[in-house]
């Protein structure tokens, strides 16, 4: 039985703090090594082998590194879309054209993000993606993802659903962040797969 909304949100906040505290202890070398291993595992995914457009993101802080994966996808000729955070926490999108195409953007008192500096393509651009790579803090045995709590990707997933778009949803995590259970609410949607440095796990129920 699922928790009620308030209890579930409290549980999520506690879990977020736990996972973030572990990530905050990682060194830059840890993050870089993880990013290289993640790229190798992710590039073996048939979904990414055949993808023409992939919506991804630039990792920051202790997140598993995505730079190696972004560059490898671009080298394959894949169109890579990266998010631009809007004032209301929704996401616009821009095309990735290599590391020099990224700008460091400070959003209020929060962590600075690296965003594409080129033309804005609009929030609906994500509906053209064959695969959406999602950030997260954990995923459970059902494929339910624990996000950071800002709601940006909840909006993305709702937009995909409204558009009738069916991209493959893949979350990128550390091995220790694949857990037995995370609290879920009615609007939460499972992902199709998780990629960690040690491999890929799929969720048939997604």
* Structure confidence by residue, pLDDT tens digits, 144-170: 999 988 889 999 999 999 999 999 999
CATH classification at residue 35? 3.40.50.10420
For residue 57, give the DSSP letter: -
pLDDT in tens, 37-50: 999 999 999 999 99
- Report the number of distinct structural domains present in the chain: 1
Q: How far is residue 104's CA from residue 89's CA, in Å, rounded to a whole number?
A: 17
Separation in Å, CA 84 to CA 55, 123, 171? 12, 9, 19
Q: How far is residue 137's CA from residue 130's CA, in Å, rounded to a whole number?
A: 23
Q: How far is residue 119's CA from residue 32's CA, in Å, rounded to a whole number?
A: 29
pTM of the full structure: 0.92
Confidence band, pLDDT 50/70/90 cuts, at residue 8: confident
Give residue 42's domain range: 5-202
């Amino acid at each position: 039985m699922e928790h009620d909304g308030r209890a579930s949100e409290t549980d999520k906040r506690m879990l977020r703090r736990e996972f973030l505290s572990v990530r905050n202890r990682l060194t830059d070398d840890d993050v870089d090594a993880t990013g290289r291993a993640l790229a190798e595992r992710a590039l073996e995914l048939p979904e990414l082998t055949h993808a023409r457009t992939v919506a991804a993101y630039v990792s920051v802080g202790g997140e598993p590194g995505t730079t190696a994966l972004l560059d490898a996808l671009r080298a394959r000729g894949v169109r890579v879309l990266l998010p631009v955070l809007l004032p209301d926490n929704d996401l616009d999108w821009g095309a990735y054209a290599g590391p020099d195409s990224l700008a460091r953007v400070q959003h209020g008192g929060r962590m600075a993000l690296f965003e594409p500096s080129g033309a804005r393509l609009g929030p609906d651009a994500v509906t053209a993606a064959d695969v959406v790579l999602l950030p997260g803090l954990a995923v459970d045995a059902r494929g339910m993802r624990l996000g950071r709590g800002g709601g940006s990707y909840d909006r993305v997933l709702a937009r995909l659903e409204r558009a009738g778009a069916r991209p493959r949803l893949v979350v990128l995590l550390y091995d220790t962040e694949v857990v037995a259970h995370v609290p879920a609410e009615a609007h939460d949607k499972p992902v199709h797969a998780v990629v960690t440095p040690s491999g890929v796990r799929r969720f048939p129920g997604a």
